[in-house]
Amino acid sequence: MRYVPTDPDPTDAELWRRAVEGEAEGFGVLFDRHSRAVYNHCFRRVGDWSAAEELTSVVFLEAWRRRAEVRLDGDSALPWLLGVAANVARNRNRARRRHRDALARVPDRPDASDHADDVAERLDAERAMARLLRLVRRLSPDDQDVLALCAADGLSYAQAAVALGVPVGTVRSRLSRAKARLRELAAKEPHAQGERLSALQSTQEEL
């Protein structure tokens, strides 16, 4: 079925409805809108850009597979997609030893010299994220999820509650606990405190 948009700027809910009806191109628009946010979330959770790319594909494959059974809460699909991303990233971390070779594959580059700067930047980002993750992974899995969604992805408390399937009050308490614990851990390494917490300084207040 050919995708013929009837609305120049359809909501995610409308695109999702069309995808359920078989319009794959409408789902492609959802991918274009949200794949970068999903990728960023996955990278923050696993600290490996190649693995984050693969996990992003897993998220959208899961979304396509479950499209008929999912009802979005509101017009945006992003909170639900990030909830799926949190789950697949957590599963990957649990199984990272078994899947290390598959998830760490680096795509072939025809001319590596043309991309040397980009590769160096990616490696620097991976190293910085690895240092941050060493602290974050000392939190409970639930606290890791809410910290990533609210402090890093910028979801409101309400949106994070949708992503995690918990009450808003639970999001608030988990986030407060996670930030306090992270400050406590960072305080024990004062030489790196600023660098490791820089990505987590601002938390979007509930709308």
Q: Which two tokens stand for residue 143?
A: 């606290």
**What band does 135 get if pLDDT is binned at 50, 70 and 90?**
confident
Residue 95 has pLDDT above 60, yes or no: yes
Kindly tell me the burial class for residue 12, based on how many C-beta atoms sit within 10 Å of its own C-beta (0-12, 13-18, 19 or more): buried
Question: Any idea which of 12-26, 40-54, 129-143, 150-164 has the lowest mean pLDDT?
Answer: 129-143
- Answer whether 175's CB lies under 8 Å from 164's CB: no
Tally of helices (H runs) and strands (E runs) in the chain: 10, 0
Residue by residue, DSSP assigns 29-62 as HHHHHHHHHHHHHHHHHH--HHHHHHHHHHHHHH
* 114 vs 205, more confident: 114
Q: How confident is the model at residue 192 (pLDDT cuts 50, 70, 90)?
A: very low
The residue ranking higher by pLDDT, 161 or 131, is: 161
Query: What distance in Å separates the CA atoms of residue 166 and residue 54, rounded to the nearest whole number?
Result: 27
Q: What is the structure's pLDDT at 102? A: 45
| Mean pLDDT within 153-176 | 91
% pLDDT > 70, the chain: 71
Average pLDDT, the chain: 78
Please give the average per-residue pLDDT across 5-27, as a whole number: 84
- Cα(73)–Cα(158) distance, integer angstroms: 10
Write the pLDDT tens digit of every residue in 22-72.
888 889 999 999 999 999 999 998 888 888 999 999 999 999 999 999 888
Residues 6+ apart with CB under 8 A from 182: 135, 136, 139, 147, 197, 200
